[in-house]
Structure 1
């Protein structure tokens, strides 16, 4: 056997992680999506397993990201994603769900199976999709949807029609009507899944808008303060003033980066979800129903401003961050130059002080030579006077004049002391 890469099975399985399932018309689907936290995945999987085992059905396999199980005539499809989970109840066609009027009975009367699922997080998406044979008139649609927001289009090369107003009903479900004109079970299952994904991902994509709106005032404040600070930079003088401006720029940069870091995932996810919506709309191949916008036209008109707002906020964050970095670099350069000037002045002052100390040292050395010579000569003078007063010189046959001896000792003592001091200074210099 060939040794396989440890991730090979996961990579190959990803292509088949969420397959389409055949669907027969008529049918009713209740689809919900909950935002979930990464740490709650195991608890959610355990809840789904418990629900399945309580009905005598097998639960999801360990590590599985989706599971499909039948409870009587209804089928539950569970899927887990990076930040949300979906639960789709495929309800059988009965006299209630297959009647002439769409969405009868209302979703609230059919939502009891949803109560059996432990809610893993806050509800974000709720869809009531009714797939019927194409036999209803437009007047019936007018009674179901808001005509001002109704989006209709033929899909799959005219094999079906989809219609919705993207508005929640009293129970909170967005109603979607799918009129089958001969899809076939496989094509119907694929279309149902794609339509549910369009509604799920377009809702998730719009999660970035509230965050963008919340960040906008803070970004505007940072922009205004940055303009004020850069204006103050032109007239700031002195190291203290420049350091103060630099500290303020660093604080603004930290505040901006905190907001940018918090919104980084959300804005990136919104772009990814918008791209998924665009791809799903392209896949179902919409054609225009006269008098109504297609889903793509409706969503582009309504979603585009929200997505542009998110993009604008993200671009403003990047632009301000670059401007803050440039302004901070300019101030750091100015501060560095001022520090170098201070260091130069300090070194000049130290050199001057050293020269003064050297002069003082030489002055002290001169004074010390004179002082030591004075004491040496004084000792010689005292010695000569003592010898003269005791008459020792006379007894030894010569005469000592203390004054003459002192006069002769002065240059000798000065030269001797100067020579000794010079030797000492030279010795210290060689040691240094």
Structure 2
């Protein structure tokens, strides 16, 4: 095995060792100065190939006169001077973070944004569907005080504010968790005591909270769509179960057809919702983890981000979980009713088989009686023909000088012939009966061995 240059000891290294070490550093925290403006986008790439998306990303390098990377990666962060672009690949979406460092001309926090210097045609041609889009305005509160609350509220077009002081009061975060007139959400962060790296970690957590919150809520429309249909299907199953319990005379085929249709519908729903509901739970866990990392202090009179999230997000996730559990319970109930139905059909078939076997047994006894009758007639017929042959033999002997009484000899031969024929017939019958019994015993032994 070829040894790597950093392996002077000649050890046999696992081929994934470097990749495993690099995984922890694949998405480093950003270092963000204050003041600055950021725009964050999360794009679902359903129906879009990753090659097509990466080719589009390469065009941003060409716009700023930089050499584009040739191979795709998990995370790319490139500095174009006053603009920084960061692209990250996730399981089902891709995120873009645009950082605008030229904010001297911005009179208000949201007069300019992270995409102010990004080509509009590049943004319009972005492959995929944008699920998350918001601006983050970072202001430096170390050299100048924060504005009054009414001024902050005007930055959010008068909407109700949600805010807190994370990191033990080293910053102040304001948001509304709503879309504004430009179609983007807004976050306003005032840096009081944080370094650029600390601010980068805080901003990253805030962006992830909003991203995972919206991704978690993707399951809610599905839950609302299937919830009333589940109620109707539950009612149908209850009616079917009641029919099965109360009626003894029913058409099992029709009932099994209904159960099959219900089972097919449930499986189709599970196929449509299982991944989405599982993702919802996973995203909620990530949101709660990021919220714990914020270490928020309350701003008097306002909900903190954690309070708002737990109050609004948790019920939505619970709704998705409830629908998921109802689907699973309905599937199990349909299986149980189907098992009951199959058991009923099997019992009915067994009863029919028993009647059929009883009828066959009666026919067998009749056939046996007829066989005995036929055997008696056969003995008589065979004896008759044999006595006739003996009569020719006796007459031939008499004509050739043998002294015997023909009538007496023929008479004596009749009972002897009958006895011989009867004994031969019984012997043949016993032989075939023995063969049949031995075969039945072998079949029974084979069945026991299989079990």
TM-score band by shorter chain is 0.7 to 0.9
Residue 161 of structure 2: which of 117, 136, 150 is its match?
150
User: CA separation in 1, counterparts of 2:234 and 2:245?
Assistant: 17
Q: For residues 280 and 411 of structure 2, what CA distance do their matches in structure 1 show?
A: 106
Please give the per-residue CA displacement for 1:241-281, whole angstroms capped at 9, x wherever unaligned.
Answer: 34543443333223212211221111111111111111112
Matched, 1:56 2:62: no
Is this contact kept in 1: 2:100–2:115, CA < 8 A?
no
Distance in 1 of aligned mates of 2:253 and 2:14: 56
The 5 Å alignment of 1:169-318 reads 169-237=180-248, 241-318=251-328
CA separation in 1, counterparts of 2:201 and 2:325? 37
Contact 2:38 2:114 in 1 (8 A): no
Distance of 1:90 and 1:399 partners within structure 2: 138
Q: Can you list the C-alpha shifts for 1:131-154, whole angstroms capped at 9, x where unaligned?
A: 113432212223232655321111
Which runs of no fewer than 5 residues in structure 1 stay unpaired?
Answer: none
1:130 aligned partner: 137
CA contact (8 A) 1:20 1:189 kept: yes
Deviates more, 1:367-376 or 1:357-366: 367-376
Q: 1:422 aligns with which of 420, 426, 437?
A: 426
Q: CA shift at 1:187, angstroms?
A: 1.4
More displaced 10-residue stretch of structure 1: 316-325 or 375-384: 375-384
Please give the alpha-carbon distance, in whole angstroms, between the structure 1 residues aligned to 2:20 and 2:374: 89
Residue 120 of structure 2 corresponds to residue 110 of structure 1: no
Query: How far apart, CA to CA, are the structure 2 residues paired with 1:168 and 1:398?
Result: 136
Secondary structure in 2 matching 1:168: coil
Q: Counterpart of 1:334?
A: 344
Give the SS at the match of 2:42: strand
Q: Look up the match of 2:95.
A: 86
CA drift of 1:220 comes to 1.8
Residue of structure 2 in register with 1:74 after alignment: 83
Q: TM-score, normalised by structure 1?
A: 0.87
Does the 8 Å contact 2:215/2:283 carry over to 1? yes
CA distance in 2, matches of 1:236, 1:3: 73
TM-score normalised by structure 2 residue count: 0.83
RMSD: 3.0
Task: Identify unmatched segments of 5+ residues in structure 2.
Answer: 1-9, 437-451
Q: Which moved more, 1:372-381 or 1:64-73?
A: 372-381
Q: Distance in 2 between matches of 1:109 and 1:63?
A: 23
How far apart, CA to CA, are the structure 1 residues paired with 2:22 and 2:260?
A: 48
Matched residue pairs, number? 422
